[in-house]
A and B are shown apart, each in its own frame.
Chain A
Amino acid sequence: MSALLKTYSPRRVPFGAALRRRTPKTLSGRIGLALLVLTLTVALLGPLCTPYSPDRTVGIPFAGPTAGHPLGLDFLGRDVLSRVLSGGLSVVLYAGVATLAAYAVGLTVGLLAGYSRSWLEPLLMRLTDVLLAFPALVFLLLLATAFGRGITGVVIATALIQLPPIVRIVRSAALEQSLRGYVEAAVARGEGTLSVLRREILPNIARPVAADAGLRFSWSVLLIAGVNFLGLGLQPPAADWGLMVSENRGGIALNPSSMLVAAALLGALTLAINLLGDALAGGTE
């Protein structure tokens, strides 16, 4: 998320004023913001305040809620509340890392392709086309095989899957800007390519790029959760919202909260980003 906020904060406006200006005006936007704050708080601060060790078996599997365990126990008899509190960090972290990595590469390549008029542009775009045509599932499976079951391959695959669309979005935004007068003026002033990209083009494409980054992040969350569900990603005993849903599917009749709370938080996180993205996009008109 820091990537989103950082890219998003405009250059010469004081932070407070910027924040006020960015606060969504619509109801759905505010709900989105509230949900985002809530889920991020749980995800980031939760691991610090777990009542029990999330890995410790403390009772009978799928025991229902009690005073000591308000959300009951999971399929191995571990405290669900503690696991919910510790299970968000990995969701945010790995999706964040994948999105960040994809953007670090995508932004560079996209800017180069969009601005440069050399042989580089068609080459980069053709490579992007190839990557785009590579089925996402095959990417995931091959990388999972290469790295063994585990989160590394999944994060790399997620970043690679995100890369081509990012390159395209950045490229078309940069291309549009590079035709504007102020860029030509900067070039006329004798600014170097890097300087033009960094000082002129980048700030001006920050808004669409930031909106896209938010969506990519929520998409990464869903993708990684799905891969974890398939057992190709994060491995037990890791506490992770996505993993918790799949592990505890069998307990839906015994202790529904072992699965539903994690599912709700996962849904709330992606829903929040979507609502917020909508509100921000709507605000630009």
Chain B
Amino acid sequence: MTGPATTALPPRTTSRRTVLRGATAAGMLLAGGVPLAACGRQPVSASAGPTGPPRRGGRLRVGMVGAGKGESFDPSLAANALINTAMSCAVFDPLLTMGSDGGLRPMLATSWTSDSTASVWTFRLRKGVTWHDGKDFTAADVLYSLKWMAKPGNGLALNVADVDLDKVSASGPYTVVVPLKSPNLLFPYSLATASVVQRGAEDFTRPVGTGPFSFVSLDPGQQAVCARNPAYWDPGKPYLDELVFLSVKDDFARLNALLSGQTDVMAQVPFTQARSQLVGDVRLIRSLGVTAQAFYMATDKAPFDDVRVRRALRLIVDRKQLVDVALFGFGTVGNDLYGKGLEYYDDSLPQRTRDLIEAKALLAEAGHGRGLTLKLQTSTVAPGMVEAATLFQQQAKDAGVDIAISQVDPTSYFDPTRDYLKMPFAQTLWQGMTTLGDVYNASVVSKAPYGETHWSDRRTDELVATATAAPDAAAARSAWAAVQRQQYDSGGYIWWGNVDNLDAVSNRVGGLTPNRYQNLGLPTGLNEAYFAS
């Protein structure tokens, strides 16, 4: 479900803007959309859920989009699917996480400080925390975890890419010193959501964590069960006795399960259903996430190596129609840059809109005046993606561009050993990124691991490096403005829409609120969930 971004990079919340966004989202709790009376059931109305203090106890059943055999508690596979993220967040804790105010919040670390150049970080660990098997949590576990994350193939490797692993050390059982290869003011964000595992842990078929819930069972493609960790370090939390993740691949079955009371929470509500099918005693949680969808062009492959073709295609897209139809209005138009709402995102660039005349002129200039035939590779990896491809195909016809749509197996769409990163013209979805540094280091610099557009430009690399290690906000802002201007003018992405995250919850369940970061308020959203009396 998630794009490449979530894989490797910790989705982080950072800016103060988040707070405002969150508030807006809360006010936007959707009211049913198109009203309809479906056979006696009433459409959902805006509702904040149950009131009153949280109550302890109960068994929360969460219907999640299934990932089949890929379902795992292994934190290194967490970003492969939302269900994996939810599972590993239940059993494991990171050192720190993002609070609802957008700032960092202590988890296994109680404090973190850096030297004056932001190149050596010191983390003080929480005392008295025990693993689910009764052992004490100490600095040794953190040291092991950092090295474990850095292993090739570990999904968290990029989180610790900055860390100078050989020099990481513990000073005492509850203090870890982490030197970096280059200064980074925002380094702690890299460790938010990166789960800490127990020293020596390699087998995650029976995971042992420090998290709010302990592992009970996992049947991939069917269900995962976790039980309350009575010894959790956060007093009183979690409220639930048991947490059950039900893997339901079919969207209609997932919705029906919620409507019939077979589940209490439905993660990832498809847009059509959010618009018209949530009826009865349930509410929609609409979060304005940092999630966006794009078409992307490999800038080193013909005809996309011609900047005029890229510009023309960007002008052909009718973003409003894509958002209204493919996202059913659950989103906002994009401006060919990822990261709207993030710190240093350049809001001053004019919103790009459809301009067929200019597009045709550019195509003619590039030698495609008689028409252009392209192949767009799409997949059902995210809701609205195939629909967007279909619409884009229609819109392109108006400019004499013939797009053939080829649908790719969703399980291998983001598999770099298959066609991912080799497709000249395809679609992507990025989510959960919270600093521009992560975004551009992952996607646009020359050695970016997810360089979908094959962008390779020394000036870009320098600008991104300068911006990431910027000593102060003003320098960072101007460096990021230059990076974004370049991408806005000639990049290979067509970021057409920012997408809302949608979940639905029974009104008996409280504690789940819209969250900037990801569906279900993850990583810590489920710690707050409770059943109303």
- Which residues of A are interface residues toward B (Cβ below 8 A)? 55-57, 61-62, 75-77, 145, 148-150, 231, 235-237, 249-251, 253-254
CB pair A57–B386 under 8 Å, yes or no, is: no
Given contacts A61-B272, A148-B409, 16 further A-B contacts (CB under 8 A): A55-B394, A61-B325, A61-B328, A62-B272, A76-B325, A76-B391, A148-B408, A149-B409, A231-B380, A236-B386, A236-B387, A250-B251, A250-B276, A251-B276, A253-B38, A254-B34
CB pair B394–A62 under 8 Å, yes or no, is: no
Instruction: Point out the residue from A62, A250, A251, A253 that lies within 8 Å of B39, measured CB to CB.
Output: A253
Encode contact with A along B348-392: 1 for CB under 8 Å, 0 otherwise.
000000000000000000000000000000001000001100110
Cα-based distance from A61 to B324 in the complex (angstroms): 10
CB pair B387–A76 under 8 Å, yes or no, is: yes
Instruction: Point out the residue from B252, B326, B390, B409 that lies within 8 Å of A250, measured CB to CB.
Output: B252
CB pair B276–A62 under 8 Å, yes or no, is: yes
> What are the residues of chain B within 8 A of A237 when measuring CB–CB?
390, 393, 405
Encode contact with A along B247-264: 1 for CB under 8 Å, 0 otherwise.
000011000000000000
> What are the residues of chain B within 8 A of A61 when measuring CB–CB?
272, 275, 325, 328
Does B36 interact with chain A (Cβ within 8 Å)? yes
Cα-based distance from A145 to B394 in the complex (angstroms): 29
> What are the residues of chain A within 8 A of B252 when measuring CB–CB?
249-250
Does B321 interact with chain A (Cβ within 8 Å)? yes
CB pair B36–A57 under 8 Å, yes or no, is: no
Number of chain B interface residues as a range = 20 to 34
> What are the residues of chain B within 8 A of A145 when measuring CB–CB?
409
Cα-based distance from A222 to B100 in the complex (angstroms): 51
> What are the residues of chain A within 8 A of B408 when measuring CB–CB?
148-149
> What are the residues of chain A within 8 A of B391 when measuring CB–CB?
57, 76
- Which residues of B are interface residues toward A (Cβ below 8 A)? 34, 36, 38-39, 251-252, 270, 272-273, 275-277, 321, 325-326, 328, 380, 386-387, 390-391, 393-394, 405, 407-409
Smallest Cβ distance from B284 to chain A, in angstroms?
A: 15
Smallest Cβ distance from A179 to chain B, in angstroms?
A: 51
Known A-B contacts A231-B380, A237-B405; A75 and B272 likewise in contact (beta carbons under 8 Å): yes
Known A-B contacts A236-B386, A253-B36; A55 and B325 likewise in contact (beta carbons under 8 Å): no
CB pair B407–A77 under 8 Å, yes or no, is: no
Cα-based distance from A62 to B275 in the complex (angstroms): 11
CB pair A236–B321 under 8 Å, yes or no, is: no
Cα-based distance from A250 to B251 in the complex (angstroms): 9
Cα-based distance from A236 to B36 in the complex (angstroms): 28
Q: Shortest 7 CB-CB distances between A and B: which pairs?
A: A235-B407, A253-B38, A237-B390, A250-B272, A236-B386, A254-B276, A249-B252
CB pair A76–B409 under 8 Å, yes or no, is: no
CB pair B276–A55 under 8 Å, yes or no, is: no
Q: Which residue of B lies closest to A232 (CB)?
A: B409
Cα-based distance from A231 to B409 in the complex (angstroms): 10
Instruction: Point out the residue from B277, B321, B387, B407 that lies within 8 Å of A253, measured CB to CB.
Output: B277
5 example contacts (A-B, Cβ-Cβ < 8 A) are as follows A56-B394, A149-B408, A236-B387, A250-B252, A251-B272
